[in-house]
Copies of this chain bind each other. A is one copy, B any other.
Amino acid sequence: MQDTPKGNRLHIAMFGRRNVGKSSLINALTSQSIALVSAVPGTTADPVYKAMEMLPLGPVMMIDTAGIDDEGTLGTLRVEKTMQVLTKTDLAILVLSAETGVSAYEQTIAAAIRERGIPLVGVLNKMDTAAFNQSKLEEWGKALELSLVPVSAVEHKGLEQVKQQIIKQAPGDWDSMPVIGDLLNPGDTVVLVVPIDLAAPKGRLILPQVQTIRDILDHDAYSLVVKERELKEALGNLRKPPRLVVTDSQEFLKVDADTPPEIMLTSFSILFARHKGDLETLVSGAKAIDRLQPGDRVLIAEACTHHRQADDIGKVKIPRWLRQRIGGELEFNWVSGGEFPADLSSYKLIVHCGSCMLTRREMLYRLSVARQANVPIVNYGVLIAWVHGILPRALLPFPAARSILED
């Protein structure tokens, strides 16, 4: 995912004085072991841009302003550097330490951020130290007119609440992960396998198929739309092989057989798991299926309250596949529409719908809530690919998710 175009990444700038724990917080939020900034203060005031993954948000551009924190006052150079950063910032995080609290620096930065209409998330780090208490949290929050999230970067506490604030406050046009376009080069052909069965709406295509065709056009590539029966012939008619074959999950096994191994193959469900959520988080959730024990509780969550068919996927098929997979009974609970249950702690797995009725932001928020409760979460599409054994090949275009699968 390191090649996600810069424009698709949420740019998050991290502000705070030295020793409040900015670098530790960045490392903790992104779970990356590489130290981003050494413990020794930098000799330059230049901010550091790092493209990284922040689960479940996906690719972000983290702007570490470690070099432009204060030295008592904001010197001219530091003010300039700060302004320069803010022109590229989608969302700012202001980090305070329980040991040092609010100074003129935080007041000035917060005002500059607000002046530009940039969303601001406040963090009070070092809640693990003796210096922390609840009244300081409230007092400093009041001083900055900002709700501060208590965090311990070193103990990895409060991180999911910070992510939830990021998801909630990120600007409106941010949640636009392309369906497929970031995987393509101009002039690429993508073969889309669209079975026409009884479930296909009369005279139409289903929306994910239409969105995929459109996204391919938007990225100067083109799609060959074909039924599974004509796939082999259609592939043979192309002089240059396609960049990718995308199939409806139902036909994966046939399409797998008809697609030469050197051509990448994935499914619409996998594309939309990524487009509408975070593929890595969902793949981790799929792996958790094999850790389930008979008697475990599983939550099945649907965002809408659709009319259920006789062999409804959420009510019938998924419970059946899971029982077969673990070879025993499970305790299922279902929720639909509105909100997640407040207490997720009794569940061993959450299975979420494809979230076509949710925005990406809403889905990322739900992923984050599940992570906070330490409950693995998977969606219908990734679960189906996993229980049918097609996930390994379907993840080939997504190295980060693939490496989670192989861990």
Q: Which of B210, B211, B222 sits near A234, CB closer than 8 Å? A: B222
Contact, CB under 8 Å: B217 / A211:
no
Interface string of A233-249 (1 = CB under 8 A from B): 11011111000000000
Min CB gap A249→B, angstroms: 17
Select A217's contact among B189, B225, B236, B240, beta carbons within 8 Å. B225
Is A226 engaged at the interface, CB distance under 8 Å to the other chain?
A: yes
Task: Say yes or no: A217 contacts B227, CB within 8 Å.
Answer: yes
B214 touches A203 (CB 8 A): yes
Given A223-B225, A225-B213, do A237 and B234 touch, yes or no (CB 8 Å)? no
* A187 and B220 contact, CB distance less than 8 A: no
Nearest chain B CB to A268's CB is how many angstroms away? 15
- Which residues does chain B contribute within 8 Å of A218, judged by CB atoms? 196
The answer to whether B229 and A215 have CB atoms under 8 Å apart is no
Given contacts A220-B227, A222-B225, A225-B222, contact A205 B214 (CB under 8 A): yes
- CB closest residue in chain B, given A218: B196
B contact residues around A213 at 8 Å (CB)? 205, 213, 225
> A224 interface residue, CB < 8 Å from B?
yes
Given contacts A237-B238, A238-B238, contact A217 B196 (CB under 8 A): yes
Given A210-B205, A215-B203, decide whether A227 and B222 contact each other with a Cβ distance below 8 A.
yes
Which single member of B203, B211, B216, B224 contacts A222 (CB below 8 Å)?
B224
Which A residues have a C-beta under 8 Å from some C-beta of B? 186-187, 189, 194, 196, 200, 203-205, 207, 210-211, 213-218, 220-227, 229-230, 233-234, 236-240
- Chain B's closest residue to A220 (CB) is B230
Q: B222 near A223 (CB under 8 angstroms)?
A: no
- Chain B residues whose CB sits within 8 angstroms of the CB of A203 once the complex forms: 211, 214-215
- Sorted nearest first, the 8 A-B pairs with minimum C-beta distance are A222-B226, A223-B225, A237-B239, A224-B224, A222-B234, A205-B210, A213-B225, A196-B217
Given contacts A203-B215, A216-B225, 8 further A-B contacts (CB under 8 A): A189-B234, A200-B214, A213-B225, A217-B225, A222-B224, A222-B225, A222-B226, A223-B224
Report whether B217 and A194 are in contact in the complex, using a CB–CB cutoff of 8 Å.
yes
Chain B residue, CB-CB nearest to A207: B204
In the bound complex, what is the Cα–Cα distance between A239 and B218 (angstroms)? 25
Contact between B211 and A204, CB atoms less than 8 A apart: yes
Q: Which B residues are in CB contact (< 8 Å) with A187?
A: 230, 233
A194 to B218 alpha-carbon distance, docked (Å): 11
Q: What's the Cα separation between A226 and B219 when bound, in Å?
A: 11
Docked complex Cα distance between A237 and B207 (Å): 28
A209 CB to nearest B CB, Å: 9
**What's the nearest-Cβ distance from chain B to residue A234, in Å?**
5
Chain B residues within an 8 Å CB radius of A189: 224, 234, 237
| Chain B residues whose CB sits within 8 angstroms of the CB of A229 once the complex forms | 220
Pull 29 A–B residue pairs with CB atoms less than 8 Å apart, ordered by A: A187-B233, A189-B234, A189-B237, A194-B217, A196-B218, A203-B214, A204-B207, A204-B210, A204-B214, A205-B210, A205-B213, A205-B214, A210-B210, A213-B213, A213-B225, A217-B225, A220-B227, A222-B225, A222-B226, A222-B234, A223-B224, A223-B225, A224-B225, A225-B225, A236-B239, A237-B238, A237-B239, A238-B239, A239-B239
Please tell me which one of the listed residues B211, B214, B223, B237 contacts residue A240 in the complex, with CB atoms under 8 A apart. Answer: B237
Q: Which residue of B lies closest to A241 (CB)?
A: B237
Question: What is the CA–CA distance of A221 and B194 in the complex, to the nearest angstrom?
Answer: 12
CA–CA, A186 to B229, complex, Å?
11
Collect the chain B residues with CB atoms within 8 Å of residue A237's CB. 189, 238-240
